[in-house]
Chain A
Amino acid sequence: MNQPNRCPRCGGSLAPGTAPEACPKCLIGIGLEKTEPGGETRTSHGIPRWNAPAPEEIAADFPQLEILEVLGQGGMGVVYKARQKSLDRLVALKILAVPSDAGPAFAERFAREARALASLSHPSIVTVYDFGESGGRYFLSMEYVDGANLHQLIHEGEITPRQALQLVTQICDALQFAHDSGVVHRDIKPENILVDQQGRVKIADFGLARIMGKSTDELRLTGAGQVMGTAHYMAPEQIEKPLEVDHRADIYSLGVVFYELLTGELPLGRFQPPSKKIQVDVRIDEVVMKTLEKEPRLRYQTASEIKTDVEGISSSPPPSKKDDDTKIYAAAFNFGWPAVAIIVTLVLAALAIPVALLLLRSDGHGAIVPSTESVAIGRSASAGVSSSGGLDAPLIQAAARGNVDGVEILLDNGISVNFQGPGGTTALIEAVDARRIEVVELLLDRGANVNAANSMGVTPILIAASQGNFEIANALLDRGANANASGPDGTTALIQAIDGGHDAIVELLISRGANVNHADERGAAPLHLAASAGRTFVAELLVARGANLNAQGPGGDTPLILAVRENHGKIVRILLDAGANPNVRGRNGRTALELAAAEGREQMLPLFRKNEAR
């Protein structure tokens, strides 16, 4: 009775006679847990969160509802718990993070998509009751699910493999139903998969990504914020073209959720099959792997096939020992190809550098057991040639593939973080190119030179800017990337971002000191690009930051002449209002005004007159 009594969970001392489940430290700890209401709290760093209105502020716009509390907030908007007075039922009211002047195109898209969502009626899909616009706010009112989302359940950790399989089959049902109805979710992630207190799945936010999609840039511009934490669940093709994906993108996302439900981890970089991490039928590995195929056509083509396979495995006895071994081998082989690639790289590198041959002889067998690949490389790398030429290429390879563990092991074993490979590329450049933020951050933490360019003069920030990867660009700038470094043909990150239409990055770069007048070798300055491409917001930003209004770009054209030529009236107005000189002659010897008259830009002529009159 008097011996020291400790809580097995937190290790804190317990008063004699106190049962571990009544550990006061653990109980107070519940009060200190950071809640993730609705799970939508992950925002990419550096982007301000959308300032969600308090319940009192919206009450007047929704007289039919009694707004009770905020359930969650994220990049898409904010969700309130509310009571629908007439029916005395609870609803979840979602206000989208859209500026009130989002424009008719948004309103039309919103109405079209919301109508499609409201028509989806399935027990495993959160029902949309109503939608519309009120007080300048776009809203959806939906079924209120009093339960938990999968993110919360996974992190509270008590999901058994059996439960995981049951949940996955329910998710498959809902996805199949939606896909049959022509609706793709586009943002399947644990936070969007709710489970009620009867253990039933309810998928939320179907198609919302599409409603919000096109206005992503607009949102960023208005400081509305954008959730970036969901990239881990996106299919590879979705990262490239988020709005042009088909239902197979949902199947990939489901695969990520499936893996996470089973193992509690994300399938990042080189990951092990589920059966290597937890006790589960080895045949499940194949199902998970097939949902996670990078190539859409190699994936499961329908959600119902996944369900059929999972149920088939659940209801039949596990394979015999002999089969089992074959399957394990097959699964291992599946995961093995990157290892083979690395070994091949090693061999090639070794041929070039005879010293390394010695090392490879002792480690050549590493290819047999793929799961130990990175360890094997680590060992060979640490054997004494850490900075001798081609042997460092594995670091670049691992970075390019987003293999965080591999990169870490290589660095731990003395591989130089700044080694330059063929074409002068570096691990950081490859990681940025592959859009792997976690590898980028690791490399920067380990001293990667943030401004090292390849032999063409391409720096990491140039790549991030041209790709429009805000998160990575932000991380690079945070670590001292030179916002004004110039690359091939004198291009800059700012020019790349404008060219690519990545307005949020334009804003970011300017806020970090990018020179708004830095022209490329052809003489094209940011304002020339913005004016000729009709990028109103960027033009405004540049003008406000003191961009040279009358600089003559390629062929001698000023921004004003370019805007007239490309028929961007708004920009003509911005430039004239800011005091641009309409009398400069461009490539055809014409002034902007003469060009406007010659091209028949009737609507622009008054703008010139107005400014003349001033």
Chain B
Amino acid sequence: MSTTDNTTPEDRRHPARFNTTRWSVIQAAAGEDSAAARDALATLCESYWYPVYAFVRRSGCDPDEARDLTQGFFARLLEKRDIGSADPVRGRFRGFLLGSVRHFLSNERDRARALKRGGGQSPLSIDQTDAEGRYAIEPADPATPETLFMRHWALTVIDVSMQRLAEEYAGQGKQEIFEKLRPALTGADTGTPRREMAAELGMSETALNVVLHRMRRRFRHKLKEEVAQTLADPGDTDDELGHLMAAL
């Protein structure tokens, strides 16, 4: 009666979460044609295409070229049946993807540029306006393609986690709470006094503190869950978060 539950149905079914991450499923397939592995890879690629795009762009390609190359890269990646065996020692999807795109790019450059790339396939729905819109606000700093890739990897992890958090709150009919409190998540001064925020949500200040505490916890959980999905060993999650922090 006095308690509410933040546990998602997914959590309930899998109390021991992260035991099999997407990246571990892909690695475990090791050259076998596994539908589960293909699905897992497609899901990861859907989330993490932008860091690849930024890498390609910063490597000196114009927007059209970058889009074609990115599509070509993912087309080949998703076509390949042997990702696991390709490099079984790679514990992180991030490292695998960066290594692969680097390799892909140098191969592509060796070929005649006129060749139609990627066989005209578009495995991902890359919205050109979106991609360029995001790239346009890149700071004009001398970031290398690699550092840019890393930074966007970290930002993507945050975006995806935040999206998952939003979905969780929406699923519980707490969209308004999420929207109102999201700016206060980092503890930054949002310009709105807590008292006012609490009044707007019709709760006491103490209740607001508690609700915010829970929201931070849930966000932490989502972040870790998302990061773990890209790792072969979920035990590396904190280490990976450290890398992401360093990239920002």
Contacts and interface: CB of A to CB of B under 8 A. Distances in A.
Contact of B15 (A23, A35, A55): A55
B210 A21 contact: no
Given A12-B248, A28-B223, A148-B213, A196 B186 contact: no
A156 B210 CA distance: 10
A152 B139 contact: no
Interface string A73-92: 00000000101000000100
Contacts of B241: 28, 31-32
Interface string A43-77: 00000000000011000000000111100000000
B221 to A, nearest CB: 9
Given A15-B137, A24-B158, A200 B2 contact: yes
A68 B7 contact: yes
A28 B4 contact: no
B175 interface: no
A83 B7 CA distance: 11
Contacts of B162: 27
Given A28-B158, A29-B245, A160-B205, A197 B211 contact: yes
Instruction: Give the most central of B185, B186, B203: most A CB within 10 Å.
Output: B186
Interface string B13-47: 00110000000000000000000000000000000
Interface residues of B, number: 54
A28 B157 CA distance: 9
Given A90-B5, A197-B214, A8 B188 contact: yes
Nearest to A37: B217
Interface size bucket, A side? 35 or more
B3 to A, nearest CB: 5
Contacts of B194: 158, 160
A15 B151 CA distance: 11
Contacts of B210: 147-148, 153, 195-197, 199
Nearest to A4: B139
A16 interface: yes
Interface in B48-106: none
B2 A196 contact: yes
A499 interface: no
Nearest to A56: B16
B205 A68 contact: no
Interface string A16-27: 110111111111
B3 A145 contact: yes
B130 interface: no
A159 B213 CA distance: 12
A21 B183 contact: yes
Interface in A106-159: 123, 143-148, 152-153, 156, 158-159
Instruction: Give the most central of A15, A145, A166, A199: most B CB within 10 Å.
Output: A199
B2 A27 contact: no
Contacts of B195: 160
A26 B188 contact: yes
A35 B95 CA distance: 28
A143 B244 CA distance: 38
Given A28-B244, A32-B241, A19 B217 contact: no
A31 B137 CA distance: 26
Interface string B185-220: 111111000110000000111111111111011011
Contacts of A21: 182-186, 188, 190
A56 B19 CA distance: 14
B11 interface: yes
A308 interface: no
Nearest to B182: A21
A33 interface: yes
B186 A143 contact: no
B205 A163 contact: yes
Contact of A195 (B7, B139, B206, B223): B206
B12 interface: yes
Given A24-B248, A30-B186, A152-B213, A146 B5 contact: yes
Given A24-B154, A27-B158, A28-B223, A148 B209 contact: yes
A124 to B, nearest CB: 10
B232 interface: no
A9 B186 contact: yes
A21 B12 CA distance: 32
Interface in B93-130: none
Interface string A151-180: 011001011101100110000000000000
A198 interface: yes
B224 A31 contact: yes
A528 interface: no
Nearest to A194: B210
Nearest to A25: B248
Given A68-B11, A163-B205, A28 B220 contact: no
Given A24-B155, A27-B185, A30-B219, A55 B16 contact: yes
B142 interface: no
Contacts of A29: 186, 245
A12 B184 CA distance: 17
Contacts of A32: 238, 241-242, 245
14 contacts: A9-B189, A21-B185, A22-B186, A30-B223, A31-B224, A33-B216, A67-B15, A68-B15, A90-B7, A123-B2, A156-B187, A163-B206, A197-B4, A200-B2
10 closest Cβ pairs, A-B complex: A199-B207, A199-B206, A26-B186, A31-B223, A21-B183, A148-B213, A199-B204, A21-B188, A147-B210, A9-B188
Given A123-B2, A199-B203, A199-B209, 17 more contacts: A16-B137, A21-B184, A30-B220, A32-B242, A33-B216, A35-B217, A66-B12, A68-B7, A145-B3, A146-B214, A148-B213, A156-B187, A159-B206, A160-B195, A163-B206, A195-B206, A197-B210
